[in-house]
């Protein structure tokens, strides 16, 4: 998962350098990557 995150950041940096106009990045940036990031709510989704 960390390698995908690093690749995504590198892609965004490349786009920033190549596109000289306003742009927006849309997505679900609240995805939990580690159980330690979770606060409250159900844990079933994480196999606990």
Q: Which two tokens stand for residue 28?
A: 């679900």
Which has the higher per-residue pLDDT, 37 or 1? 37
Q: How confident is the model at residue 44, as a pLDDT?
A: 65
Q: Is the dihedral of CA 38, 41, 45, 48 positive or negative?
A: positive
Residue with tokens 């390698």: 3
Q: How confident is the model at residue 46, as a pLDDT?
A: 57
Domain boundaries, the chain: 1-46
CA pair distance 16, 2, nearest whole angstrom: 21
Q: How confident is the model at residue 1, as a pLDDT?
A: 66
* DSSP reduced 3-state for 27: coil
Give the pTM.
0.49
CB proximity list for 48: less than 8 A, separation 6 or greater: 35
Q: Which two tokens stand for residue 3?
A: 């390698």
Q: Each residue of 2-47: pLDDT tens digit? A: 788 889 889 989 988 998 888 888 887 777 777 777 777 776 665 5
């Amino acid at each position: 998962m960390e390698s995908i995150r690093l690749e995504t950041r590198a892609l965004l940096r490349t786009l920033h350098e190549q596109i000289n106009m306003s742009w927006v990045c849309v997505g679900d940036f609240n995805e939990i990557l580690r159980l330690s990031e979770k606060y409250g709510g159900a844990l079933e989704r994480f196999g606990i």
